[in-house]
Amino acid sequence: MSIAEQSIIPARQADWKQRDRHGENLNLKGQVAVVTGGATGSGRASAGKRADRGAAVMVADINDSASAATAAEVAEIAGRSACFRVDVTDVGACSDLAAKTLEVLGPADILINNAGVAGAPNWQKRSFSTEEDWKMTYRVNVIGMSNIVTAFEPQMAKRRSGRVVNIASIAGREGRPSLPHYSASKAAVISLTQSTALELARYNITVNAICPGLLWTPMWEQVGERYAREVPAYAGMSARQVFDVMIADRIPMKSEQTPEDIAETVVFFTSYDAKNITGQALNVDGGLFMR
Amino acid sequence: MDFEGKTSVVTGGAGGIGRGIAHALARRGSNVLIADTNEESAVKVVAELMAFGAHASFCETDVTAQWSTDEMVEAALEEFGQLDVLVNNAGVGGARDFTFRKTPNIDDWLATFDVNVFGIVNGIQSVEKYMLDRGYGKIVNIASIAGRSGGAGFTAYGASKAAAINVSQAWAFKLAPHGINVNTVCPGLIWTPLWESIGEWRSLTSRQHTGMTSRQVFERAVAESVPLGREQTPEDVGNAVAYLASDRARSITGQALNVDGGIRMN
Count of alpha carbons within 13 angstroms of residue B92, beta-carbon side: 24
Q: Is A138 a catalytic residue?
A: no
CB atoms within 10 A of CB A177: 6
Q: Do A280 and B258 meet the contact criterion of CB atoms below 8 Å apart?
A: yes
- Rounded distance between C-alpha atoms, residue A274 and residue A281, angstroms: 13
What does DSSP assign to residue B115?
I
Q: Is position B205 within any domain?
A: no
- In angstroms, how far is CA B211 from the centroid of its own chain? 30
- Identify all chain B residues contacting A197, using CB atoms and an 8 Å cutoff: 227, 262, 265
Task: Read off the CATH number of the domain in which B52 is found.
Answer: 3.40.50.720
Torsion angle (degrees, nearest 10) of CA A69, A72, A78, A82: 90
The H or E element containing residue B88 is strand B85-88
Which chain B positions have a beta carbon within 8 Å of A263's beta carbon?
none
CA distances from B42 to A269, B18, B86 (A): 31, 10, 17
C-beta pairs of B147-154 under 8 Å, 24+ apart in sequence: B147/B186, B148/B186, B148/B258, B148/B264, B148/B266, B149/B264, B149/B266, B153/B102, B153/B103, B153/B205, B153/B206, B154/B93, B154/B104, B154/B198, B154/B201
Q: How confident is the model at residue A11 (pLDDT cuts 50, 70, 90)?
A: very low
- Radius of gyration for the alpha carbons in chain B, expressed in angstroms and rounded: 18
Q: What is the pLDDT of residue A26?
A: 56
Which residue out of A138, A182, A227, A272 is catalytically annotated? A182
**Domain assignment present for B212:** no
The total domain count for chain B is: 1
C-beta separation of B104 from B98 below 8 A: yes
What CA–CA distance (Å, rounded) separates A107 from A272? 18
Chain B CB contacts of A21 below 8 Å: 1
- Domain assignment present for residue B221? The answer is no
Q: A172, A277 in Cβ contact below 8 A?
A: no
pLDDT band at B127 (very low <50, low <70, confident <90, very high): very high
pLDDT of residue A47: 81
In angstroms, the CA A16 to CA A10 distance is: 8
Residue of B186, B265, B266 to mutate, interface with A, max A Cβ within 10 Å = B265
With respect to residue B253, please indicate whether it lies within any of the assigned structural domains. Answer: yes
SS3 of residue A44 by DSSP: helix
pLDDT at position B32 over 80: yes
What span, in angstroms and rounded, lies between the C-alpha atoms of A111 and A32? 9
Residue B218 lies in a domain: no
For B174, the closest chain A residue by CA position comes to A252
Interval A237-291: pLDDT, tens:
999 999 999 999 999 999 999 999 999 999 999 999 999 999 999 999 999 999 8
User: B83 pLDDT exceeds 70?
Assistant: yes
- Domain assignment present for residue B159? The answer is yes
Q: What mean pLDDT comes out for the span A176-188?
A: 93
Query: Is residue B220 assigned to a domain?
Result: no
- Those residues whose C-beta lies under 8 Å from the C-beta of residue B121, and which sit 6 or more positions away, are B167
ipTM of the complex: 0.93
**What pLDDT score does A16 carry?**
32
User: Which domains are delineated in chain A?
Assistant: 29-212+258-283 (3.40.50.720), 214-256 (no CATH)
Residue B22 has pLDDT above 80, yes or no: yes
Give which of B2, B224, B252, B257 to mutate to test A binding, by max A Cβ within 10 Å: B252
Could you report the per-residue pLDDT of B202-211, keeping only the tens digit for each? 999 999 999 9
Between CA B162 and CA A167 the distance in angstroms is: 27
Across the interface, whether the CB atoms of B265 and A285 are under 8 A apart is answered no
Q: With respect to residue B82, please indicate whether it lies within any of the assigned structural domains.
A: yes
Give the pLDDT confidence score for residue A1 in this predicted structure.
28
Contacts of A37 (CB under 8 A, 6+ apart): A43, A60, A61, A114, A115, A116, A167
Does the pLDDT at position A14 exceed 50?
no
Name the DSSP class of A20. Answer: T
Q: Which domain holds residue B134?
A: 7-189+232-259
Please answer yes or no on whether A261 and B251 come within 8 Å at the CB atom: yes
pLDDT-based confidence at residue A7 (cuts at 50, 70, 90): very low
Q: Does B6 touch chain A (CB under 8 A)?
A: no
Residues 6+ apart with CB under 8 A from B261: A201, A276, A277, A278, B188, B189, B226, B227, B228, B229, B230, B231, B232
Whether A21 shows a pLDDT value over 70: the answer reads: no
For residues A43 and A36, the answer to whether their CB atoms sit within 8 Å is yes
Q: Is B210 helix (H, G, I), strand (E, B) or coil?
A: coil
Please give the Cα distance from B13 to B234 (Å, whole number): 11
